[in-house]
Chain A
Amino acid sequence: KQEVTQIPAALSVPEGENLVLNCSFTDSAIYNLQWFRQDPGKGLTSLLLIQSSQREQTSGRLNASLDKSSGRSTLYIAASQPGDSATYLCAVARSGGGADGLTFGKGTHLIIQP
């Protein structure tokens, strides 16, 4: 059974810093990995999707990398802003179909101090 772990569970940094969020998964047979952000009491907003054949994806100040063989992904946020404060979730989709849906980590709760 796939398990997804996100470290750290919480992170608080001053505005302007670059930071890295980590995601690891136990089964490397994935189709893709998706990063989301969730604001309190709200739904999920898709940030980046990396296919299993890709190494990284970039969108603005965000860069996500994927190392399928080691079961790891990182989300790099450059020049952090208070508006980046949210919970960040990573989710993997299994190869061969969606029988298990997306498997999510518990998230990293990020606070950017002004």
Chain B
Amino acid sequence: KAGVTQTPRYLIKTRGQQVTLSCSPISGHRSVSWYQQTPGQGLQFLFEYFSETQRNKGNFPGRFSGRQFSNSRSEMNVSTLELGDSALYLCASSLGGIPYEQYFGPGTRLTVT
């Protein structure tokens, strides 16, 4: 079975721009969660989607949004990028959502200049 895939793997953007990241879960998994990883804050939960509905949301500003499609693929969007948004963005998929076992993708490294 193919694992979780994320595209693109690397991105460089300028402050004020917006960006869209994509995540394809393991086949059959209906839940996709997103996390931001930075050296200072570690891994922080952004949100979770299950069957196209946002089920849980972390403590991030409204500039961070997401959606999930009928095939369970998910996208995350960050608008009006700030330097502090530079991070590794990881998505995880699971059969039943949190707290079931999570399988992570390789991440998208976003650099904001």
Most buried by B among A44, A105, A107: A44
Residues of B within 8 A of A (CB): 4, 6, 33, 35, 42-46, 48, 55-56, 58, 88, 90, 92, 97-99, 101-107, 109
Give which listed residue, A34, A41, A93, A104, contacts B42 with CB less than 8 A: A104
Task: Determine whether A102 belongs to the interface, using a CB cutoff of 8 Å to chain B.
Answer: yes
Give which listed residue, B42, B98, B101, contacts A101 with CB less than 8 A: B98
CB distance from A93 to the nearest CB of B (A): 3
Q: How large is the interface on A (under 10, 10 to 19, 20 to 34, 35 or more residues)?
A: 20 to 34
Give which listed residue, A41, A45, A98, contacts B98 with CB less than 8 A: A98
> Are the CB atoms of B107 and A42 closer together than 8 Å?
yes
Task: For the complex, give the distance between the alpha carbons of A101 and B55 in Å.
Answer: 10
Smallest Cβ-Cβ distance to B41: which chain A residue = A106
> Are the CB atoms of B98 and A93 closer together than 8 Å?
yes
> Are the CB atoms of A101 and B106 closer together than 8 Å?
no
Smallest Cβ-Cβ distance to A101: which chain B residue = B45
The A interface, classified by DSSP as helix, strand, loop or mixed, is strand
Task: Determine whether A36 belongs to the interface, using a CB cutoff of 8 Å to chain B.
Answer: yes
With A31-B99, A93-B99 in contact, do A100 and B45 touch (Cβ < 8 Å)? yes
Smallest Cβ-Cβ distance to B47: which chain A residue = A101
Query: Can you give 8 contacting A-B residue pairs, CB < 8 Å?
Result: A43-B106, A46-B101, A97-B56, A101-B45, A101-B48, A102-B35, A102-B45, A107-B42
> Are the CB atoms of A101 and B33 closer together than 8 Å?
yes
Task: For the complex, give the distance between the alpha carbons of A103 and B107 in Å.
Answer: 18
Smallest Cβ-Cβ distance to B45: which chain A residue = A101
> Are the CB atoms of A94 and B43 closer together than 8 Å?
no
> Are the CB atoms of B103 and A46 closer together than 8 Å?
yes
> Are the CB atoms of B48 and A98 closer together than 8 Å?
yes
* Binary B-proximity of A84-101 (CB < 8 A = 1, otherwise 0): 000001010110011111
